[in-house]
Amino acid sequence: MFYYGYVIEGLAFWPGTKHQYPWYDAIAMGVQMMVFTYLLGRTDHNGRTVVEVWADAKTKSRLHAALLSIMAFIVIGHAVYLSVFAPHLVTKLMGLVTVGPTEQLFPGIPNQPL
């Protein structure tokens, strides 16, 4: 089971409860999935993705195009994940994540400190 220990005030569903959920997290994950869906689902008439078409245009051999395509997906994936994770880290470090549950999240285990 997963619970959010602390969220940003005013930006969560059911804040201050055991089941609080930051809606900004849902939006960030949605944007991340939209980017991956576009990159993997948008194909040309030959069935190649946007990244594969780009890799084919940049290289001469099929092996190099495949390797470049794999590397591009890895780099793009990390960049998109960082763009989703970084705001969470920044808000935590700035002390904006202040709303926590009033009840214990897991029996016998104290909630994490702020």
pLDDT in tens, 2-59: 888 889 999 999 999 999 999 988 888 898 899 999 988 999 999 999 999 999 999 9
Write down the pTM of the prediction: 0.72
- CA–CA separation, 72 and 74 (whole Å): 5
SS3 assignment, position 85: helix
DSSP for 51-75, written as a single string: HHHHHHHH-SSHHHHHHHHHHHHHH
Between strands 21-22 and 7-8, the pairing is: unpaired
Name, in order, each residue with C-beta under 8 angstroms of 96's C-beta and a sequence gap of 6 or more: 8, 9
Residues near 36 by beta carbon (within 8 Å), at least 6 away in sequence = 77, 80
Backbone angles phi, psi at 22, to 5 degrees: -75, 120
Residue 102: per-residue pLDDT: 84
